[in-house]
Amino acid sequence: MQALLALSRKIDAFNTLVGRWLSWLIVVAVIISSANAIIRKLLDMSSNSFLELQWVLFSIVFLLCSPWTLLSNEHIRIDIINHTLPLKVRGWIDMIGHVFFLMPFAIILLWWSIPFFLVSYRQNEQSFSAGGLPQWPAKSLIMIACVLLIIQGISEIIKRAAMLAGTIPDSNAKSSAHAAELEAERLVMNITGDKP
C-alpha cells in the first residue's frame, strides 16, 4: 500500500503543478479579451484569432485543470446530503463514484476523443471564421484532459482505499470541517448584515 500511496503523491504533485501553472492562463485570456475590446472600440478593428484564442485559453484551464479540481475536492457534488453522512459512508460513495462513474466516463471519452483529434489533425482543420485559428490543437485538449483525469482518478482510488483501510486519515473530515466553517461564516454575515 505504501508504494501505491507514493505513486498517488507523485500524481497529486504533478496535477497540482499543471493546475497551478495553467490556471494563470485565465489572466492571459483576460488581457487578450481586454486588449481586443479596446482595439475594437478605439480603432474599429478586430481579429477572429483573438476571439478564438480566448476560447482556447478558457478550454485549456477548464479541461486541463479538472484533475487539480478533483484532487482539491472542489468538484460538484450534492454537499447538503454528502456532509450529513458519516465519514465512512462518504468514503464509500467517493470510491464507488470514482470506480464506476469517473473512470469509465474518462476512458470512454478518451477512446472517442482520439479519432476526433486525429481526423482534425490529418485534415489540418482550420476555423470557419476568416483569420481564425487551427482547430486540431483545441481538439487535442479533450484527449489530454482525459489522460490527466484518468491518472488523477487512479490516485483518488488509491487514497480512498487507504482511507477506508485506516492507513491514512480521511480527507472528507477536513473538507466537511471546511464546509462547516464556510456555512457558519455565511450565516453570521446574513445575521449581522455584513458583506463578504
As given in the structure block, the three cell numbers for residue 50 are 483573438
Model confidence pTM above 0.85: no
Instruction: Provide the domain limits for residue 178.
Output: 2-192
Q: Are 138 and 58 in contact, with CB atoms under 8 Å apart?
A: no
Query: 5-61: per-residue pLDDT in tens?
Result: 999 999 999 999 999 999 999 999 999 999 988 988 888 887 888 889 999 999 999
Q: What's the CA gap between 119 and 115, in Å, rounded?
A: 6
Structural domain tally of the chain? 1
The amino acid at residue 164 is L
Within 8 A by CB and 6+ apart from 172, the residues are 87, 90, 91, 94, 163
- Phi, psi angle pair for 126, to nearest 5°: -115, 165
Q: What's the CA gap between 53 and 5, in Å, rounded?
A: 38
